[in-house]
Amino acid sequence: MYPGVVTDPILDDLLLFLEHAPTPFHAVAQAAEALDNAGFRALAEADPWSDLAPGRYHATVGGSSLVAFVVPKGPHAAFRLVGAHTDSPNLRLKPRPEYAKEGYLQLGVEVYGGALLNSWLDRDLSLAGRVFVESGGRTSPVLVKIDRPLCRVAQLAIHLDRDQNEKLALNRQEHLAPLLGLAGPSAPSLTALLARELEADASAIRAMELMLYDVAGPAVSGIDGEFIHSGRLDNLAMCHAATTALTLAAGAAEAGGVVPMIALFDHEEVGSESATGAHSAFLPRALERISAGRGLSRDQHFQALARSFCVSADMAHAVHPNFADRHEARHKPVLGGGPVIKTNAQQRYATSAATALLFERICARADVPFQHYAHRTDLPCGTTIGPITSTLLGIPTVDVGNPMLSMHSARELAGTRDPALMTRALACFLEGAD
């Protein structure tokens, strides 16, 4: 895919996944397509799951979260769960985004999650998300991704603020509104633009959920092709690893005694408290329905949970050579060094000594190197869906992730060797390895 750079099929597929998934809605659609191609059958939450035959299944909720699992031929004794999240920090359009100011047509945006705001300045941006279109008396969501530069958050010239290089300060309300065009009576509306993209009548567009994304696609760089540059590596790289691992493990899992399962959640970057987030009833409900659909009693379901294990997969901090003092001195993961096991005594990560050891054993069995990460004690630590999942389900959990730089930037950086390593470890885990 990239001339002169030696890659592998998993990396190539990840790059395509990143390119085609500018939003959580697209990420779930991409994952569902990969699962369909691997023989997984779509289930709807509103359909009965009362008689689940052995096989491969996936189900979505809200268009931005997904679970997929394999029902073995015999009775299952446990679940093997990998969790990740589909959302990334970005700029999202407000419900009534268009306005004119000083002769420009602009878009009102809201900052989603802990975005690095300066990384969105002076980039070729466009819009993606979903639009609700009415047809035949029904309103349905339609994915949209405008594949060309459409707007830009223009930075103030250095001549108008000489202190910017030393102390850039961006007001989220006033300074991040992108320029969409020049205002005037002949300027087209955003609705008209979307209607052209969707080849629909503008009057049929009833609602929209849109966000900005950088149109520059993923790229491989480095003197020997060591690096990936892309938006949304946190955390689509882990969504891709989980999905790919499940497709690789499905054959072996069908003859085993555990249910391998992945759960890809929306809204992790804003706390997970939503109908499609990790704090919702979506996952506990799906697990219980799987057990009930296989004829297990409620007590047998709880027995299966007690024997289960969860891997929370979310990208990890690699040591930054220009800011090495911001890292804990004896826990400095490197790009290309394999999965990172993340530990925090304040339970910002769900890892314990026991679950870390289990994951180390899985890596050894898969012939995958691993690393350890701990945050500096004098800095606040981020968190993942791991503590939430372990709290809701009471399942032992380990937090892991591939190392990266520029986390939460519009354009992040990771290593080209790590995706295959993580995928191999997760596939080994989902096959039932302890």
Which string of DSSP letters, residue by residue, matches 121-152?
Answer: BT--EEEEEEEEEEETTEEEEEEEE--S--BB
Do 109 and 80 belong to one domain?
no
Do 268 and 375 belong to one domain?
yes
Do 139 and 276 belong to one domain?
no
Do 297 and 348 belong to one domain?
yes
Q: How many domains does the chain have?
A: 2
Answer whether residue 226 is part of any domain: no
Which residue, of 214, 245, 279, is where some domain finishes? 214
- pTM as predicted: 0.96
Answer whether residue 189 is part of any domain: yes
Name the residue range of residue 335's domain. Answer: 9-88+231-430
Give residue 353's identity as a one-letter amino acid code.
A
CA–CA separation, 26 and 239 (whole Å)? 12
Strand ranges (E), 75-124: 78-85, 90-101, 104-112
Task: Reduce the DSSP state of residue 180 to 3 states and report it.
Answer: strand
Do 53 and 118 belong to one domain?
no
Q: Is 312 exposed, middle or buried (0-12, 13-18, 19+ CB in 10 A)?
A: buried
Answer whether residue 386 is part of any domain: yes
Rg (CA), the chain: 22
CA–CA separation, 85 and 24 (whole Å)? 9
Torsions phi, psi of 216, nearest 5? -65, 120
CA distances from 153 to 156, 337, 412, 413 (A): 10, 36, 18, 22
Answer whether residue 220 is part of any domain: no
Nearest one of 308, 346, 320 to 403, comparing CA atoms: 320
pLDDT at 5: 52
pLDDT at 51: 87
CB 25 within 8 A of CB 19: no
Torsion (CA) 29, 30, 33, 35 in degrees, nearest 10: -110
CB 245 within 8 A of CB 420: no
Answer whether residue 219 is part of any domain: no
Answer whether residue 203 is part of any domain: yes
Do 48 and 161 belong to one domain?
no
Task: Reduce the DSSP state of residue 250 to 3 states and report it.
Answer: helix
Task: Write the CATH number for 246.
Answer: 3.40.630.10
Do 144 and 245 belong to one domain?
no
Do 324 and 408 belong to one domain?
yes
Do 241 and 182 belong to one domain?
no
- pLDDT tens string, the chain, 434 residues long: the values are 454 455 699 999 999 999 999 999 999 999 999 999 999 999 999 999 998 999 999 999 999 999 999 999 988 889 999 999 999 999 999 999 999 999 999 999 999 999 999 999 999 999 999 999 998 889 999 999 999 999 999 999 999 999 999 999 999 999 999 999 999 888 889 999 999 999 999 999 999 999 999 999 999 999 999 999 999 999 999 999 999 999 999 999 999 899 999 999 999 999 999 999 999 999 999 999 999 999 999 999 999 999 999 999 999 999 999 999 999 999 999 999 999 999 999 999 999 999 999 999 999 999 999 999 999 999 999 999 999 999 999 999 999 999 999 999 999 999 999 999 999 999 999 998 55
Which residue, of 188, 214, 240, is where some domain finishes? 214
Nearest one of 114, 131, 124, 139 to 26, comparing CA atoms: 131
Answer whether residue 334 is part of any domain: yes
Answer whether residue 79 is part of any domain: yes
Which residue, of 153, 185, 214, is where some domain finishes? 214
Torsions phi, psi of 151, nearest 5? -150, 175
Nearest one of 143, 114, 162 to 29, comparing CA atoms: 143
Nearest one of 244, 130, 251 to 197, comparing CA atoms: 130
Task: Write the CATH number for 205.
Answer: 2.30.250.10
Do 203 and 237 belong to one domain?
no
CA distances from 421 to 12, 143, 239, 249, 301 (A): 14, 32, 14, 15, 32
CB 379 within 8 A of CB 268: no
CB 90 within 8 A of CB 212: yes
Do 94 and 81 belong to one domain?
no
For residue 74, the tally of other CB atoms under 10 A from its CB is 12
Do 80 and 131 belong to one domain?
no
